[in-house]
Amino acid sequence: MILKLKQQLSRYFFFFVASLLIPLVGFFIYAARVQVDFFPFLSVALFVDVVVLGVFYRRLKKKKAVVKIQREEFFEKSNLLRADLEREGATIVAFREKIVSYSQLKGLLEALSMSLSLEDTAAVLCKKVEELFDRKDSTVILYLIDPAAGGLAIAYAVHRHRCVTIKMKQGDIFDRWVLKTLKSLHCEDTHNDFRFDVDLLNEEGLRPVRSLVSVPLLTDNKLVGIIRLDSLLTHRFDVEDLRFLKTIGDVAAVAIENAQLFDRVEDLAIRDGLTGLFLRRHLLERMAEELTRHLRLDRQMAFIIMDLDHFKEYNDRFGHSSGDIVLKIVSETLKGHFSDPGNLICRYGGEEFCVLLPECSRKEAADRANEFVRFIAAQDIVLRRDSTRITVSAGVAAFPQDARTREELIQKADAALYEAKKRGRNRVCLSS
């Protein structure tokens, strides 16, 4: 537009000058050839042309100045427009990235909604976070609050799509910082971060982490855990990564709390509220699974049923609350005595208990049962300031030696328990 205006001004100036000079040239030729006396008039005309040209030149200069100002304004507006376009472009790119991020979050939400247990939720969360960030050199670690200890306990860790083992089960100084401050942590280089002591890092023998982002998982200002991404390289995470991880953390905190509630409800459904032992329904389910497995592997499995001798007398003499104390003592002793991995201890009903011993022979089970019976009989129990002792009778049956089905195994162990009662209690009998 400015160039077009300049061309127009130049064209107008040329036409104007030509319109003045051409008549002067004609008058000069006429005066020179026809009438010499015409030169005074030609001089006056020439003077008038000079004056007119001077006036026009001044106006032309003013026009050029205006054009120059307009040109500067034009370039300024064009620069502002270009800056606006660049900002709009950056906004569009950021918006597209947000759309992609939120679409990815949608996938995360769908995956978490399909995970009910805490174990499944932790695994899905870590794997999805690794996919969302797509950093091959990074490790995703999820810590949860341990209700018993009150500190952190590692729940899951993944690196390159594989579950990995982390030595620092309760977290390191970075995790403790997040735990203490309840703030997100972004560390571009752990060796140059004033918040942490490099010497302390070396003393603790930590993994050689050089950069990380970590956010606390909060629900109603209650900390449920920490999710963290770290790398062996420096400057692997930026502020946008931290912001995105915070968004994931808000979603993850709710999912983890729901999974914890689900596990608690499920635990209440299969565990006895008084003793904390499994209930009969869970025993029957596990027993069916174990029978199938032992039959396929051609292995032995033992089953023990126990009953407290003269338990009604404790309730009548000391009261039901004292009877509950006895049941708790026996259940805790059972947990300690049959603590091998895979053993299943249940409260079968009332004062009856049972133990399922996978890959255990009938003789081994009988020896363990005898040890338990003797240990219980030797214990002093104080009820209402009175010292007393309790005894236990037990029956043992084994698969496949005594029974081939679940119902038959329970029946044979129960018959052996009845035989122990019949023989005077405080003893163990084997299925015949």
307 versus 10: which is more confidently predicted?
307
Confidence (pLDDT) at 209 = 86
Confidence (pLDDT) at 183 = 93
43 versus 121: which is more confidently predicted?
121
Same fold, 118-270 and 280-430: no
Q: Are 194 and 187 in contact (CB under 8 A)?
A: no
Which token pair is 108? 């995360």
Confidence (pLDDT) at 256 = 92
Share of the chain above pLDDT 70, in %: 83
Nearest CA to 311 out of 351, 257, 343 is that of: 351
Share of the chain above pLDDT 90, in %: 40
**CA 358/CA 68 separation, integer angstroms:** 96
Tell me the CATH number for domain 118-270.
3.30.450.40
Confidence (pLDDT) at 429 = 95
Confidence (pLDDT) at 379 = 87
Confidence (pLDDT) at 320 = 74
Q: Which of 84-88, 114-118, 188-192, 223-227 has the highest mean pLDDT?
A: 223-227
Q: Could you tell me the strand order of the sheet in which 138-145 lies?
A: 162-163, 152-159, 138-145, 222-231, 211-219, 185-187
For the segment 379-427, what is each residue's pLDDT rounded down to a tens digit?
A: 888 777 777 888 999 999 999 999 989 999 999 999 999 999 999 999 9
For the segment 30-70, what is each residue's pLDDT rounded down to a tens digit?
A: 656 665 565 566 666 666 766 776 777 787 788 778 878 87
Query: Quick one: fold of 280-430?
Result: Alpha-Beta Plaits (3.30.70)
Quickly count: other Cβ atoms within 10 Å of residue 189's Cβ: 12
**CA 158/CA 139 separation, integer angstroms:** 6
Range from 5-9, 267-271, 400-404 carrying the lowest mean pLDDT: 5-9
Which token pair is 422? 């019949």
| pLDDT of 6 over the 90 cut | no
Q: How far is CA 52 from the centre of its chain?
A: 84
| pLDDT of 1 over the 60 cut | no
Confidence (pLDDT) at 22 = 67
Q: What phi and psi values does residue 339 have, to the nearest 5 degrees?
A: -95, 5
Q: What is the torsional sign of CA 310, 312, 316, 321? A: positive
231 versus 41: which is more confidently predicted?
231
pLDDT average, residue stretch 123-151: 87
| pLDDT of 82 over the 70 cut | yes
User: Average per-residue pLDDT in the chain?
Assistant: 84
pLDDT average, residue stretch 147-154: 83
SS (H, E, C) the chain: CHHHHHHHHHHHHHHHHHHHHHHHHHHHHHHHHCCHHHHHHHHHHHHHHHHHHHHHHHHHHHHHHHHHHHHHHHHHHHHHHHHHHHHHHHHHHHHHHHHHHHHHHHHHHHHHHCCCCHHHHHHHHHHHHHHHHCCCCEEEEEEEECCCCCCEEEEEEEECCEECCCCCCCCCHHHHHHHHHCCCEEECCHHHCCCCCHHHHHHCCCCCCCEEEEEEEEECCEEEEEEEEEECCCCCCCHHHHHHHHHHHHHHHHHHHHHHHHHHHHHHHHECCCCCCECHHHHHHHHHHHHHHHHHHCCCEEEEEEEECCHHHHHHHHCHHHHHHHHHHHHHHHHHHCCCCCCEEEEEECCEEEEEECCCCHHHHHHHHHHHHHHHHCCCEEECCEEECCCEEEEEEEECCCCCCHHHHHHHHHHHHHHHHHCCCCCEEECC
Find the largest Cα–Cα distance for the chain: 166
Confidence (pLDDT) at 203 = 60
Bridge partners, 343 (sequence order): none
Range from 79-88, 100-109, 311-320, 374-383 carrying the lowest mean pLDDT: 100-109
Confidence (pLDDT) at 341 = 86
- Domain segments of the chain as ranges: 2-87, 118-270, 280-430
Confidence (pLDDT) at 140 = 93
For the segment 337-370, what is each residue's pLDDT rounded down to a tens digit?
A: 998 888 999 999 889 999 999 999 999 999 999 9
